Amino acid sequence: MLSGVRIIAILLVALSSARTLAANDWEHVGGDAGGQRFSEARELTRENVAGLEVAWTISTGELKDWGARRGWKFQTTPILFEGNLVFCTTLNDVVAVDPGSGRTVWRFDANLPDIEPAGNGYACRGVTAWRDPVATPGAACASRIFTGTNDYRLIALDAATGRPCIGFGDAGRIKLDPGVPLVHAGEFQITSPPVVARGVVLVGSAIGDGVRVAAPSGKVRAFDARTGVPRWTFDPVPRDPADPARASWGAGSDDRTGHANVWSLMSADEARGLFFVPTSSPSVDHYGGTRPGENRYANSVVALDAVSGKVVWHFQTVHHDLWDYDVAAQPSLVVLRRDGKEQHAVVQPTKMGLIFTLDRATGTPVFDVEERPVPKGDVPGEWYSPTQPFPVAPRMLVPAKLKADDAWGVTFLDRWACQSAIAGVRNQGIYTPPSLQGSLLYPFISGGVNWGSASFDRSRQTLYVLTNNASGFVQLIPRADVPPRNEMDVFNDGIASQTGTPYVLKRSLLASPLGAPCNPPPWGQIHAIDMTTGAVKWERPLGTLEDVVPFGDLWLPHGSGNLGGPIGTATGLIFVAATMDNYLRALDADTGRELWKGRLPAGGQATPMTYVWKGRQYVVVAAGGHDVIGTTRGDTIIAFALPKMRRPHAR
């Protein structure tokens, strides 16, 4: 049990963190521990943002030796912590640099082996900082950086020096146990940062899709933030017979099913002592006959007690997932003003383009949620949920129906090919289940809203999110009709083994012969949502294809696919990269109008951040590309600021 002194110290740290954010720092990947992605910095305004220019750039040096490999991504968002800008590289090195110049202060070599991961690729979305409230200020590891690695290690580093914290785990490192032998080295990874509350550090995992029913467990693991001693685990597939959620797993399927893992970003509420974890689909993603029932805790946002790991509440966004509709976005912890009162809430964007708004203490919907009938399939052995949850507000942000006549093409023949493809598959709108003939999956697995998550402006009571708009094709093929295949060849040719089921899966983007999506543009948008009423205030296409198709900005419609998220500022600016063209953009928060764009040396498939250092406001983004969507590869962190001679005094 925590002593009174310890509790007071913890609360003081929480208050200190709040003051730090007000002072324009960015101490968490999501801006704050609740992922609001918002800054009170006021130097950059709608009037002067057009004057932004490159302040400094640095290279991680990894592209030269590693960039040609399959799975390359650079998705990190730096944090500003105790005088250093700290980030992780694609290969899990952790780097601290001077915020004003980019000069390297220290670098930790993660020594990542050559794992050539299938499916998830190499990724590191950021690091987590923590101050020990009872440590002597200035002592080694009184302030720490926690990071996870693609070879599933949790590492604690001294924030001042980058040296491992010897008293944590095994000389600063903890190797997670996947629980089962891995099919390939990249089947089990850590790709998103840990999260800390009440002296507990929590870490999730990224587990390869489509491999097998008996996949690694998707449990999240909690450790003492000082010592690394295990504290508790939470498995989204309930194994305890006394757990009420176990009744939603038929035929003992919870004893043989894997993952439902938490691969994306988690949130923490220090004052309440709660973690909020977004869970994913159980194994396997597109066939659920081996796991009949709604599969509670999977595809959910779950509130966990930070000290005990007990479930405080849970809300499921998809029953019995057959579409790979993981809860990919970080739960946003916000304060809403409704009916003259403040309400602490969790806003959960989803891949379906649906946004669920829940009371933070109870999980009760703030905007009503309706269970609506959805199509039922006819695959032998499958179990189907008759309904799915839909919030009454906000409205769905992406289209959910695609008729053959709606097909889009660069040319007449291109459009005709798309029309034929759409007409030949099962197509009943959102939640059309996978089938033996082939089914249209719309939205596709990339979203809606993906891991880029949302930005929330408390003064405007406005949520900003990016969406993808793409359709896909899924088909279940009887195993006897497919030649035996290596489980490691997951989606290399659009096919996944799904070992332990009667079917092999075929999955692909629904695209024309020229490679363009078959559904009409825009293929990517940014939306502003009034969270008082749930109404969409404005939405605009985001991005072009100029860097992936010659002169694509001139002859193709605007609005490209995106991976990354937006951030907001108190002066009414939205900064966003994420798109398939190599730009960082500044938008007007009230209208979405583009006010500035800065050229990046590579694809900006990451979320930017902003901070004030010695009176100057910087906006920083990782520019490294993403091999799956074909953007320009790189290994650069680039910072923008106003020229020193022209900077006005901060207001």
Strand order in the sheet with 153-158: 128-131, 143-148, 153-158, 173-175
SS3 track for 132-159: CCCCCCCCCCCEEEEEECCCCEEEEEEC
Residue pair 464/568 in contact by the 8 Å Cβ criterion: yes
The DSSP symbol for 393 reads S
d(CA 635, CA 637): 7
Pairing of strands 567-569, 38-39: parallel
Which residues are within 8 A (CB) of 181 and not within 5 positions of it... i.e. 6 or more apart? none
d(CA 583, CA 640): 12
| CA-closest candidate to residue 87, choices 188, 157, 10, 181 | 157
Q: How many CA within 13 A on the CB side of residue 145?
A: 31
- Complete DSSP assignment for 600-616: -SS---S--EEEEETTE
State the residue for tokens 């008759």: 386
Catalytic residue (choose from 209, 254, 324, 457): 324
d(CA 565, CA 579): 10
Residue-wise over 405-417: b if at least 16 C-beta within 10 A, else e? Answer: eebbbeeeebbeb
d(CA 14, CA 20): 10
Query: Is residue 248 helix, strand or coil?
Result: helix
- State which H helix or E strand residue 462 sits in: strand 462-468
Which residues are within 8 A (CB) of 575 and not within 5 positions of it... i.e. 6 or more apart? 566, 567, 568, 569, 584, 585, 586, 587, 608, 610, 619, 621
Q: Is 324 a catalytic residue?
A: yes
State the residue for tokens 């996978």: 434
Q: Which two tokens stand for residue 261?
A: 């893992």
| CA-closest candidate to residue 465, choices 370, 371, 395 | 395
d(CA 395, CA 535): 8
Sequence-ordered strand ranges (E) for 258-367? 267-269, 274-278, 300-305, 311-316, 332-338, 341-349, 355-359
CA torsion through residues 154, 158, 159, 162, sign: negative
d(CA 433, CA 296): 19
d(CA 97, CA 503): 50
User: Is the peptide bond preceding residue 522 cis, with omega within 30 degrees of 0?
Assistant: yes
Count of CB atoms situated within 10 Å of the CB of 22: 9
The DSSP symbol for 215 reads P
Which residues are within 8 A (CB) of 618 and not within 5 positions of it... i.e. 6 or more apart? 55, 99, 610, 611, 612, 639, 640, 641
The residues assigned a catalytic role are 324
